[in-house]
Amino acid sequence: MSQKFQELIESERPVLIDFFAAWCQPCKVQSSVLNTVKEKVGEGARIVKIDVDQYPAIASQYGVRGVPTLAVFKKGELLYKESGVHDVNRLTHLLEQYI
């Protein structure tokens, strides 16, 4: 997964990574928000979910200490990272900055 993850974040278009856990209630809320964000930004950005329990090495590599944590990458560069539930407008605006 690590090699695949690296290829994913090297993308020319922004990639929003949602670090989540299946047992996390706020993560479920964040997931529905991300569905709406995806509708708004369309093909301009990619949204990918990473389960921290399945891929702890990736979560650790990027300093994920709590879930949900959202991170935006473009061309391999970490442009944004913050924990907590984000709303639709904030995430849409954030991604539009990098599209």
Catalytic residues, which ones? 24, 27
Q: Which of 61, 14, 7, 54 lies closest to 37, judged by CA? A: 14
The Cα 99–Cα 40 span in angstroms is: 12
The Cα 89–Cα 4 span in angstroms is: 29
CA distances from 12 to 6, 44, 58 (A): 13, 10, 21
